Amino acid sequence: MAILVGGIGASHSPTIGFAKDTGKQNDPAWAPIFEGFAQIRQWVQKEKIDVIFTIYNDHVTSFFFDHYSAFCLGIDDQYVAADEGGGPRKIAPVKGHLGLASHIGFSLVADEFDMSFFQGKPVDHGFLSPLGMLGDDNGPWQGAVVPLQVGVLQLPIPNARRCYKLGKSLRKAIESYPEDLRVAVMATGGLSHQVHGERAGFINEARDDEFLDLLEKSPEALVEKRLAEYAALGGMEGAEVIMWLIMRGALSDKVNLAHKSTYAPSATNIATLVFEDTGSAPSKAGVEAYRAHVGYELAGAEKLEGTYPFTLDRSRANYRVNAFLHRLIVPAHRARFKNDFDALAIEYGLTEEETALIKNREWLKLIQRGVSFFVLEKMAAVLGVSNPEVYAHFRGETLEQYLATRKQAITYSVSGDVED
């Protein structure tokens, strides 16, 4: 089983990535940043951490306000640097751990957290600034990650208690994962800072020291505080430290403080922190009961004949072809699909198998492979194929045979009235 070894706290200011990319290790003004992260890096290496569950917030780079979620879990096999306006950092991709990510996703939903999931999105400094300091000079952390993006930039946001409760569920999820992994939970962001309005530049180092002390010894005192209190004491953007309560909630009540440092050179108080977990391993019976709880809602669905539940694993395995067909909502892509399909398929990196399944309208095989019906529905509309024709193909029937089983013999599709 997976073991939760400890928790890490780390600021994620773009200052950190800038310092590394420009070689500021020996500059006295920047050296304390590197010294703090060196302590985390050494601990990670000593403890032989396999996976870092990384809690961060995106800075309106890959997650915009057209669809903004509270808790969004990454289910990708790698995470590349995002372009935040001046081009992406030249930093190697970070590997994702798909198995653990999927298990955690199912676990948190089973514990009634309304999760969303992302793949195919680059990550910005909120994720890469701290992870980039845990690898060697040529790249970021060399192990695997599971990212959790927390939406803290558009109000309302989850409160401190909700974050702490999510951490409690996260611990159960990690400890019930069957693979032998050594896992650390890293919370990023903070400490005190504000980057907008007349209060820009606000820092409260005394409050930051108090926050870190309470986080170690009395986290419940932090759980009770309202967002307005966090903003008043640590700055509006500094209130993102509620994400650290996810990390703390995942750990044992008592922790060993292995490292703590702060440094406030400019716009934010940069912190690094390591807590070692002291809790005992869960019982075998407890783990089995929790796994049954996680699988309860879908138990038996896999046995329904002719039914293919669209799980996170199927979604990730077929993301490329699903994304290709989803883009049929874009007129230019739709036109090329109809008039220049072979070149378009090559451009999007479809495999020969995927290309053949689409060209030959192998509706059932596409479903069995893991393509969502709701992108096939779009494909059918583009091709002038009605929904009932697709249903008939699934059942191995002609359209007439299928319609004979309906109360009304009607055909329809999601196609609009205007041709491209």
What tens digit of pLDDT does each residue of 359-391 get? 999 999 999 999 999 999 999 999 999 999 999
Residue range 249-261: mean pLDDT, rounded: 98
pLDDT for the residue 417: 62
Is the same domain home to 40 and 136?
yes
Q: Specify whether 359 is located in the same domain as 223.
A: no
Using alpha carbons, select from 81, 165, 172 the residue that is nearest to residue 129: 81
Q: Are 39 and 181 found together in one domain?
A: yes
Residue at 306 is within a domain:
no
Residues 332 and 378 in one domain: yes
Whole-angstrom distance, CA of residue 216 vs CA of residue 16? 24
408 domain-assigned:
no
Average pLDDT over residues 402-409: 96
- Residue 359 CA to residue 341 CA, distance in Å, equals 8
Query: Is it the case that residue 420 has pLDDT exceeding 50?
Result: no
**Of 122, 182, 156, nearest to 242 (Cα)?**
156
CB 233 within 8 A of CB 171: no
Rg (CA), the chain: 24
Residues 37, 132: Cα–Cα separation, whole Å: 10
Considering the domain architecture, whether residues 270 and 348 belong to the same structural domain is answered as no
Active site residue 125: yes
CATH number reported for the structural domain that contains residue 15 in this entry: 3.40.830.10
Domain count, the chain: 2
Question: Is 418 part of a structural domain of the chain?
Answer: no
Domain that holds residue 34: 3-295
pLDDT band at 137 (very low <50, low <70, confident <90, very high): low
Residue 142: predicted pLDDT: 87
Catalytic residue chosen out of the listed positions 59, 97, 103, 193: 193
Does the annotation mark 97 as catalytic? Answer: no
Q: Are residues 360 and 267 in the same domain?
A: no
Average pLDDT of the segment spanning 262-283: 96
Q: Are residues 229 and 334 in the same domain?
A: no
Q: Are residues 289 and 322 in the same domain?
A: no
Same domain, 82 and 47: yes
Domain-embedded: residue 300: no
Is a pLDDT exceeding 60 seen at residue 419?
A: no
* pLDDT greater than 60 at residue 13: yes
Same domain, 251 and 381: no
In a domain, 117, yes or no: yes
Report the DSSP pairing between strands 3-10 and 270-277: antiparallel
pLDDT digits (tens, 9 = 90+) for 279-321: 999 999 999 999 999 999 999 998 999 999 999 999 999 999 9
Residues 51 and 180 in one domain: yes
Distance CA 298, CA 105 (A): 14
pLDDT digit string, tens, across residues 76-125: 999 999 999 999 999 999 999 999 999 999 999 999 999 999 999 999 99
Token pair for 396: 């191995």
> Considering only CA atoms, which of 202, 240, 248 is closest in space to residue 221?
248
Tell me whether residue 307 is in a domain: no
**Is 304 within a domain?**
no
* In-domain check, residue 13: yes
Give 279's contacts (C-beta < 8 A, 6+ positions apart).
Answer: 4, 251, 252, 253
- Given the residues 125, 259, 293, 393, the one annotated as active site: 125
Q: Is residue 135 pLDDT above 90, yes or no?
A: no
pLDDT at 157 over 70: yes
Separation between Cα atoms, residue 33 and residue 44, nearest integer Å: 17
CATH code for the domain in which residue 388 is found = 1.10.700.10
Mark whether 173 and 223 lie in a shared domain.
yes
